[in-house]
Chain A
Amino acid sequence: MKYLKGKRMRLGLCLGLIATFIIGMASWAQTTMVADAPTAGDTAASVAAAADTDADTDASGQPAGEHLSLREGARKVVSTTGLAAFMSGQWRAAVMLVVGLVLLYLGVARDFEPLLLVPIGFGCLLVNAPFAGMGEDNGLLGLIYNAGIENDLLPLLIFMGIGAMSDFSPLLGSPRVVLLGAAAQFGVFGTLLGVILLNQLPGFDFTLKEASAIAIIGAADGPTSIVVGRRFAPNMMGSIAVAAYSYMALVPLIQPPIMRLLTTRQERLIRMRQERPVSRLELILFPLLILLVCIVFLPAAVPLMGSLALGNFIRECGAVNRLSNAMQNEIMNIATIMLGLGVGMQLEASQFLQPATLGIILIGLLAFSLGTAGGVIFAKIMNLFSPNNPINPLIGSAGVSAFPMAARVSTRVAMEYDPQNVLLMHAMGANVAGQIGSIVAGGVILALFS
């Protein structure tokens, strides 16, 4: 024990000395570089250029050539440490490092959408590393963003993967639940009104385009949020994507209270008829059908819907199983990593630490709540017109696109009241309808503002 105590003391002493040395050097560098201290937004390249300029001339004004004094060298090294940056105006980057660590914690320890929050959190750490230049045009994250997100490539690849993983037979077996996917888009358009009303508060001044980009969080659809957010609110895209994915992970907490509030016990006990069996031909033709409907009614949504349809057609046609497997696994995984890092790049301190971010996070909660409520209430309205074949309103909440979490939540809540009442397939039908509905909602916004 004594040995341990002594060891700990020595370790603490060493760490203290190192910290004192670093802080001392940083302070010294700061005092000797008051005039040319790096400020928030300075990059490694600009600091290095400034240091080069200093190094070009020595104290007597002569070209320094290859001579580098100890003082100059130390100053150069110390001035490009993260600590010096944090102490000279880039404290926001330090805050963002904490935000990145929180995202990693939520993804790893709390299992909140880990597939996306882990790369997003790591991207946040990398882009906020002072002087590392990861977010510059030639930095890793900058390259990923420019090559994959700036042109919508990665969200569309994600949609192909989602299409290849989706089974539309529950929807085809009970087509009327497609309307629940439409009703749940009230989460998008109702929230749009909420964002505009938020402008009445001081500190918020969203344009209609920005409000639409924020409202798309209500679609509970990450790729659509990224596509719309990048077009209409590029400086808020990171906050929008993080809010969308975080709330998707929180669906099991957000939805059940709203579902219980809006339904009676009797309604929660409704047992639904079994869906009709679906033929293979229907499954093969369905992706072509949604694509054609989209081409006819809403061409602005064709890139999103077309990617989903392509992935699903490749899955269902059965002729190219290798491609289907690649879309479901390799392509989907690579696109997810790249998309996460690219979104993480948008969590740069100057963009994220704004009052608007707080507004986006609050509005995201409203959006999910309105989407859930819209689906549940519309299911109750549908029951007025079909009393002989009623819908359990709990599946209405699955009309948001958070797949398959929302469907599982509907099933779980229904089984709390009747353990024999398994609504999973019906809820899955509403859930895939929500996927289609969210693309249509995104397409409407793209068509209106592009």
Chain B
Amino acid sequence: MIRDATIVMILGMGTVFLVLLALLGLMTLGGRLAARYAPPEPPAKPPAPVPKAPSGGPAPQNDAAENDSQTCVAVAVAAARRQGK
């Protein structure tokens, strides 16, 4: 029975390595093809820094979008405070 177990061990490890080596080859090939034809999207750029407000004055309002986001934040903070009460 030890002989049988040894055969199963050799066959088993051999098959596992064969299958995973095939997978490794295909993954490597797929990675190269993907790099050529479907490259991963570059990570999103960090938001541009907000210019510092001149001393004593209010922060400059860049554009409408930033205004909107600030309004959203203000609304969220107000809602959170109301919930807290």
Contacts A276-B31, A282-B30, A293-B26 given; does A208 touch B8 at CB 8 Å = yes
Q: Give A84-104 as 1s and 0s: 1 = Cβ < 8 Å from B's Cβ atoms.
A: 000000000000000000000
- Encoded as 1 (CB less than 8 Å from any A CB) or 0, chain B from 16 to 43 comes to 1111111110111011001100111100
Q: Return the contact of B1 from the options A186, A196, A280, A297 (Cβ within 8 A).
A: A196
Segment with Cβ contacts to B, from A53-61, A177-185, A231-239, A342-350: A177-185
B5 touches A182 (CB 8 A): no
Report if B69 contacts A (CB, 8 A).
no
B residues less than 8 Å from A192 (CB atoms)? 5, 8-9, 12
Residues in B neighbouring A404, C-beta threshold 8 A: none
A175-B28, A279-B38, A282-B34 known; A441+B20 contact, CB < 8 A? no
**Chain A interface helix/strand/loop/mixed:** helix
Contact of A199 among B1, B9, B24, B38 (CB under 8 A): B1
Cβ–Cβ contact B34 & A298, under 8 A: no
Tell whether A196 pairs with B5 under 8 Å between CB atoms, given A172-B27, A185-B13, A441-B12: yes
CB within 8 Å for A279 and B40 given contacts A178-B20, A178-B27 = yes
Q: How far is the CB of B11 from chain A (nearest CB, A)?
A: 7
- Whether A211 and B27, one on each chain, are in contact in the complex, defined by CB atoms closer than 8 angstroms, is no
| Contact A433/B20 with A196-B1, A208-B8 known, Cβ cut-off 8 Å | yes
The answer to whether A440 and B24 touch across the interface, beta carbons within 8 angstroms, is no
Residues in chain A near residue B12, CB distance under 8 A: 185, 188-189, 192, 441, 444-445, 448
Q: Is B55 an interface residue (CB 8 A)?
A: no
Which residues of B lie under 8 Å from residue A189 when comparing CB positions?
A: 8-9, 12-13
A212 CA / B1 CA spacing, docked (Å) = 12
Given contacts A281-B38, A444-B16, contact A175 B24 (CB under 8 A): yes
How many B residues, CB 8 Å from partner? 31
Q: Which residues of A have CB within 8 Å of B6? A: 193
Q: Are A179 and B24 in contact (CB under 8 A)?
A: yes
- Whether B15 is near chain A, meaning CB under 8 Å from some CB there, is yes
Cα of A181 to Cα of B22 in the assembled complex, Å: 13
Q: How far is the CA of A181 from the CA of B34 in the complex (A)?
A: 24
For the complex, is B68 an interface residue (Cβ under 8 Å from A)? no
A199 partner residues in chain B, CB cutoff 8 A: 1
Asked if B50 is at the interface of the complex by the 8 Å CB criterion, the answer is no
Residues of B within 8 A of A440 (CB): 15-16, 19-20
Contact A196 B2 (CB under 8 A): yes
B8–A182 CB distance below 8 A: no
A294 within 8 A of B: yes
A445, B7: Cα distance in complex, Å? 12
- Whether B18 contacts A297 by the Cβ 8 Å rule is yes
Which residues of A in the span 126-177 have a Cβ within 8 Å of any Cβ on B? 171-172, 175-176
Tell me if A197 is interfacial: C-beta within 8 Å of chain B.
yes
Identify which of A185, A208, A276 contacts B16 (C-beta below 8 A).
A185
Q: Encode A430-445 as 1/0 by CB contact (under 8 A) with B.
A: 0001001100110011
The proximity string for B residues 28-65 relative to A, scoring 1 for CB distances below 8 Å and 0 otherwise, is 10110011001111000000000000000000000000
Closest to B42 in A: A277
Shortest Cβ distance from A200 into chain B, in angstroms?
A: 10
A285 to B38, CA, bound (A): 12
User: Taking CB as reference atom, which chain B residue is nearest A277?
Assistant: B40
Between A179, A182, A437, the greatest number of chain B beta carbons within 10 A of the residue's beta carbon is seen for A182
- Residue of B5, B26, B31 touching A193 (CB-CB under 8 A): B5
Inter-chain contact A293/B2, CB cutoff 8 Å: no
Closest-CB distance, A297 to chain B (whole angstroms)? 5
Q: Which residue of B lies closest to A281 (CB)?
A: B38
Instruction: Report the bound CA distance from A281 to B41 in whole Å.
Output: 11
A289 proximal to B (CB < 8 A): yes
CB contact between B2 and one of A175, A179, A197 (< 8 Å): that residue: A197
Instruction: Name the B residues within 8 Å of A290 (CB-CB).
Output: 23
Chain B residue contacts of A277, Cβ below 8 A: 40
* A225 to B8 CA separation, bound complex (whole angstroms): 17
A433 to chain B minimum Cβ distance, whole angstroms, is: 7
Docked complex Cα distance between A296 and B19 (Å): 9
Find chain A residues with CB under 8 A from B5 CB.
192-193, 195-196, 208, 211
Q: A171–B9 Cα gap in the complex (Å)?
A: 26
Question: Which residue of A is nearest B27, CB measured?
Answer: A175
Quick check: is A190 within 8 A (CB to CB) of the other chain? yes
Chain A, Cβ-Cβ closest to B37: A281
A440 and B20 CA atoms in complex are apart in Å by 9
Assembled-state Cα–Cα distance A436/B15 (Å): 13
What residues of chain B lie closer than 8 Å to A190, measured between beta carbons?
A: 9
Query: Which B residues contact A (CB, under 8 angstroms)?
Result: 1-2, 4-6, 8-9, 11-13, 15-24, 26-28, 30-31, 34-35, 38-41
20 A-B pairs with CB atoms under 8 Å apart are A182-B13, A182-B21, A185-B16, A186-B13, A192-B8, A192-B12, A193-B6, A196-B5, A208-B4, A276-B35, A279-B34, A282-B38, A289-B23, A289-B26, A289-B27, A293-B22, A297-B18, A297-B19, A298-B19, A441-B12
